[in-house]
Amino acid sequence: METTTDIQPLGYLPLIRQNPDYRNLWLGQVVSLLGDWFNLIASATLIAALTRSGFAVGGLFIVRMLSQFLMGPFGGVLADRFNRKSILIVSDLMRAVIVLGFLLVRDAGDVWLLYTLTALQLGVSGIFIPTKDAILPDIVSEQELGAANALNATTWSTMLALGAALGGVVAGQWGLAPSFIIDSLTFIVSAALIWRINYPTGTGMGKSASGPVQVFRQYFDGMRYLLQNGHIFILAVQKASMALAVSSMFSILQVEIASRVFVLGEGGSTSLGLFYASVGVGTGVSPILARYFTRDQEPRLRVAIAWGYLITGVGMLIVSSLMNFGMVLFGAFLRGFGVAIVWVFSTQLLLEKLPNRIRGRVFGTEYALFTLMNALGAAVGGALMDRLQLGIPQMIWGMTALLLVLGALWLAFGLKGQRFELQVES
């Protein structure tokens, strides 16, 4: 069995310079993510201003996550059956049209439209994202895979920091409409860049029988693969673990802190943008720095995931102090730093181990679990804040306790993954 220790890791600049197909995919991600964060800041600010309800804000994140949960498995099947490049282009063009509908949301009576458009936009994203993950090993070599995965994560984080900060400024100074227009334009640019990728017209996976029954059967084949390969299943639930313990409820708390505790800009939109920017900086530098120590070696990647849980917990506790806005932003930075380690390295291990024939369905299932836990966390977080009147520090303490339990489970089972895998294969 070949391991990552046999492969010399490639740097980031050589990857971008030498691989034009990855370069186009990466540039498309840069521009579309910039618009995504404009959209999220504007949507969260708009619904908070229209409803003044933590549960309504939580509902926005529930809709965002549940729509992706429902479409993620379907997206995984599509990615294993049809041309992955074509799926990405069509998804971008559909979202470019959908997000313009946000311009029609004007008052509290239009909240249903905001939820509907969000469901449509993020439902298409549920197809796009597992397809984007599945196509990566098709356009990069094994030597390039670690650098490409880390650079994708850093790009997401950089655009989070830049897009959230700029989105907060734009929304705070010029209103919310420009954010939605910019988002639509970025999807068009992304589609044009992905169109330039040199990718086969067919993957050879779309020749099997079609129809709802066959689609469900193929998806459950992917589920069966996960259940039969415990070392893969453990990796596939890491994002869901972080979503349940941290990401979803923290998204609601960020809105509450920005709109009620440290209020900058219209409705706290600038504060919210700075929150997301701090998380983005943390998630951006994390995979670059951590990869310097892991060197794409599997045992080190697994140990780094354990450290990711610990660093995230420290960041959460710092945020809970609400000492001052600077300390809260530093805690958000650490929270992003730790989450990114878990996210990036669990993805890298999956990319290295999954066979091409099943890759889309596994990533679709992984993304579905992630979005389901995000929705569950958002629902529980919003309800606790509105009905039990729990304060922000108490919420964060509970989240941190759950996070440490999940980290302990990784220590118990995840660190043994490589040895377990060798035993299965032998």
Average pLDDT over residues 389-412: 83
Average pLDDT over residues 282-300: 81
Of 152-166, 203-217, 336-350, 409-423, which has the strongest mean pLDDT?
A: 336-350
Average pLDDT over residues 359-373: 81
Of 121-135, 144-158, 403-417, which has the strongest mean pLDDT?
A: 121-135
Whats the size of the chain, residue-wise?
Answer: 426
Q: Is 186 helix (H, G, I), strand (E, B) or coil?
A: helix
Average pLDDT over residues 63-67: 80
One-letter amino acid at 250 equals: F
Residue 87 scores a pLDDT above 70 = yes
Question: pTM above 0.75?
Answer: no
Residue 423: pLDDT band with limits 50, 70, 90: very low
Residue 90: pLDDT band with limits 50, 70, 90: very high
Domain 16-198+211-425 in CATH 3.40.50.460? The answer is no
Whole-number Å distance between alpha carbons of 41 and 106: 16
Is the model more confident about 375 or about 95?
Answer: 95
pLDDT at 421: 46
Residue 161 scores a pLDDT above 80 = no
Q: Which candidate, 162, 401, 389, places its Cα nearest to that of 256?
A: 389
Is the model more confident about 179 or about 135?
Answer: 135
pLDDT at 192: 94
For residue 5, what are its two tokens? 């220790």
What is the residue whose two structure tokens read 């969260």?
44
Q: Where are the domains of the chain?
A: 16-198+211-425
For residue 399, what are its two tokens? 């989240």
Residues 168 and 274 sit within 8 Å (Cβ to Cβ): yes
